[in-house]
Structure 1
C-alpha cells in the first residue's frame, strides 16, 4: 500500500502514468502470439492458433434457413413497437404447444421500463429443439396456448396504443439466414474472443485451449492498454470508436467465411458493432455478462473520474472491490486466477480513459433489435456488475436469443466455471435449426363423371347394403 501511494505521488509530480505496458519489438508469431500494428504506433498483441486438422472445406450438414422479417417502430414518447411480419418468422425455432408454427406477433416495449423482464431460458441441448425467449416476456413454447390476457393488461395495452403518435423512426428487416453447425474440421470457421475493461486475452485461456484442441481456428486480441498491447498516453485512444476500429481491423485480418464472436462485458459491445458492420460474415454470437441493450454513456458521478494519481493510490482497493464483485467466491484460488490471467492489471490512466470513453449513442435497443444472427446469452447468477434483468431484457429485444444462467458463476464466469462455459459454447456452435419439410401439394386430378362413379360403386365388392342403410 505504501509503495502504491509513493508511485501515485510520483505520478502526480511527473505528470506521467505508471505501469505502462510496452509490446515486444518483434511482430513474428511465437507460440501462437502475434503483434499486429493496427495504426502507426498502435500495436496489439493477438493470440492466433491454427490447429492441425483434416481438410474439410464445406459443412457436412445441410443446415437450416431462418426467415427474419420484422418491423421496428420507435415513437416519440419512448415506446418501442416490434412487429414480426413473416408467415414463417422463426418458425423453425418457435413452436406452439399444438406443434403448429407460431403466428405473427407484435411486441410493445417501453424503452424507459427495464424492470419488467422475462424469466431466464436455457439453451437447448445438442440435438434437441431450441427454446427462445418470447418477445412479449414469455417463453415461445407457451406463446400459442390461447390464454386470454387479464383485464388490467388489456387496459394497459390500450393505453399504450393511445399514447402513440407519429413514429420517430421505422426500421424494416426482411432477410433469410442460413445457419449450419460449425465444426472444428471446417476450415472456413474462426472464433474471435474479445475481453472487456481491465481484462486481457489470458482470461480466455481455458476456452482457447479447449477449442483449439477440437480443431477450431482461434483469434483473441488484447485491447489497447491491456495485456501486452501498446498503451498510448492519449485519452482519445481509448474511446469506444477507437477501440471498435481496432477490433474491425483485427477482424478483417483474420476473418473467414463463417465467424463466431464471443465477447465478455465491454467486449460484447464490440461484437455487436462487428455484427452490424459485417452481417454476412458473422455466423453466431455469444454475449457473456454483457448487460442490457442500451446506448453507452459515461457516468458523471463515478470514482473513475478522479485524477489518475488518486486512482493509482486506490488501486489496491479497486482490485479488492473487483475481486468481491467479479467472483462468486473470494479465496486464494480466485486471487491466483487474477494474477495468472493478467486481470485488472492496467495503468490508472488507461482505466480512467476507458471508463470515460464509453460513449456509444448508436447502440440503443433498436440497434440491437436489428441483429438477425443467433445469439447465446451467458450470465453468472452472482454477477454484481451486471444484473440478470439486463440480460433478460436483451433476450426480449433480440430476434434469436438463448439465455443461460450459471448458478455457480459471477462476472468472470469463464474463469470460474470453464468446463460449463466450454460445454455451452460448443453446443451452441454445433447447433443448427431444423428446417420443416416442405408441404405436399394436393394433386390436381380430373373429377370423375357421375357414370364412372356409379360403375365404381357397383364393381366394389366391399360396399355392403346394410352399411349404406345405416349411413342413411
Structure 2
C-alpha cells in the first residue's frame, strides 16, 4: 500500500522492534495514535494530513503483526500487557508537556490503561469506537464470539473469507464509501488469524476502580451503525469515566476516523483546546 504517514523501524524496547512514524517538531503538544486489532497507523492518515503543518508532534506506530511491523511467533508477544509496555515506552521517548491520546477500537484499552497509570502526563484523550470496559477474553463473548478462541488455526484460515465478510457487515455503515472499504479490505489481507487469536486471548483487563479514578477529559465517539462495538459499549464506558463526553455519530460504523474524519478532527481539536 502507498504510505501517507510513513515511518521507520524502531527498537521500542530491548528486542522489540516496531514500525513507527514520528514527526517531532520540538513543540510542547504531542499526539499519540493507537490503532485497533487488525488495524494499522495508516488508518489515521486523514487526520495526519490535516495536522501535518500545525505546531504538533505526531507519533503513530503499528503493533506487532500489523501494518509494517514484524510478525512475532510467540502468542505472548501480543498480550495486552506487552502492547501497553510498547505504548508506555514510546510515550516516555516522545512525550512532551501536553500529550493527547487518539485511539481506536482495541487501542482504546491501551489508551485507558496508560491514562490510569499516569494521568498527570496527559491533557486529554479521544477514543473512537471503544469496546465496553469489561469486554471479556476470547471464548467469553469477544468480538467474533467463541469461534475465534476455540477453533484451531488451520480451520480458522479456511473460514477467513467468511470472517472477512462478517467484519465488513459489522464494521461499516451501510452508506460507507465503497472505494474506502475496498482499500481497507485489501490492507487487511496482511493480517493473520494467528495474530488476531493471540490478541484476544491476551486481552488487557481494565480495573474498574482505576477507570473511575481517571479525571483526564476523555471524548468518546461512537458510530450509530457500528455493530462491532455498538454505541451501548461506548455508553457503558462513558458511564464509568468521570470526565467523559460521548457523541454518537449517525450514519457511521466502526471505522470512525476513516468514515468521519472531520468529526474526529473536531473532537481532537476540542481535546487540544481543553473544551
When normalised by structure 1's length, the TM-score is 0.53
Shift of 1:344: 5.8
Deviations 1:178-209 (A, max 9, x none): xxxxxxxxx11100010010000011000111
**Residue pair 1:258, 1:281 contacting (<8 A) in 2 also:** yes
- Tell me what 2:154 maps to: 309
- Tell me what 1:282 maps to: 122
Equivalent positions of 1:244-259 (< 5 A) are 244-259=84-99
**Residue pair 1:295, 1:364 contacting (<8 A) in 2 also:** no
Paired residues in the alignment total 266
Counterpart pick for 2:259 among 401, 404, 416 = 416
The answer to whether structure 1 residue 239 and structure 2 residue 79 are counterparts is yes
Distance, in Å, in 1 between the alignment partners of 2:163 and 2:204 is: 23
The answer to whether structure 1 residue 355 and structure 2 residue 200 are counterparts is yes
Q: CA 1:418–1:359 in 2, change beyond 3 Å: closer, same or farther?
A: closer
The answer to whether structure 1 residue 327 and structure 2 residue 167 are counterparts is no
**Residue pair 1:44, 1:223 contacting (<8 A) in 2 also:** yes
Q: CA 1:297–1:220 in 2, change beyond 3 Å: closer, same or farther?
A: same
Equivalent positions of 1:8-47 (< 5 A) are 32-47=6-21
Deviations 1:303-361 (A, max 9, x none): 11211122222222211111111110366324333146x3463112111111211142x
The answer to whether structure 1 residue 266 and structure 2 residue 112 are counterparts is no
Question: 3-state SS of the aligned residue for 1:298?
Answer: coil
Distance, in Å, in 2 between the alignment partners of 1:277 and 1:41 is: 24
Deviations 1:11-46 (A, max 9, x none): xxxxxxxxxxxxxxxxxxxx7512111344421011
**Residue pair 1:238, 1:357 contacting (<8 A) in 2 also:** yes
Distance, in Å, in 2 between the alignment partners of 1:312 and 1:252 is: 38
Distance, in Å, in 2 between the alignment partners of 1:189 and 1:296 is: 34
The answer to whether structure 1 residue 373 and structure 2 residue 219 are counterparts is no
**Residue pair 1:373, 1:400 contacting (<8 A) in 2 also:** yes
Question: 3-state SS of the aligned residue for 2:219?
Answer: strand
Higher helix share: 2
Distance, in Å, in 2 between the alignment partners of 1:268 and 1:296 is: 15
Distance, in Å, in 2 between the alignment partners of 1:274 and 1:317 is: 34
**Residue pair 1:32, 1:47 contacting (<8 A) in 2 also:** yes
Q: CA 1:226–1:389 in 2, change beyond 3 Å: closer, same or farther?
A: same
Question: 3-state SS of the aligned residue for 2:120?
Answer: coil
Equivalent positions of 1:24-423 (< 5 A) are 32-51=6-25, 187-294=27-134, 296-300=136-140, 302-305=146-149, 306-329=151-174, 332-339=178-185, 342-343=187-188, 345-360=190-205, 363-423=206-266
Shift of 1:219: 0.4
How big is the alpha-carbon RMSD for the aligned residues of Structure 1 and Structure 2?
A: 2.1
Deviations 1:240-281 (A, max 9, x none): 111111111111111111100011111001111111222211
Question: 3-state SS of the aligned residue for 1:218?
Answer: strand
Distance, in Å, in 1 between the alignment partners of 2:232 and 2:167 is: 21
Distance, in Å, in 2 between the alignment partners of 1:286 and 1:344 is: 28
Distance, in Å, in 1 between the alignment partners of 2:55 and 2:189 is: 31
Shift of 1:50: 3.1
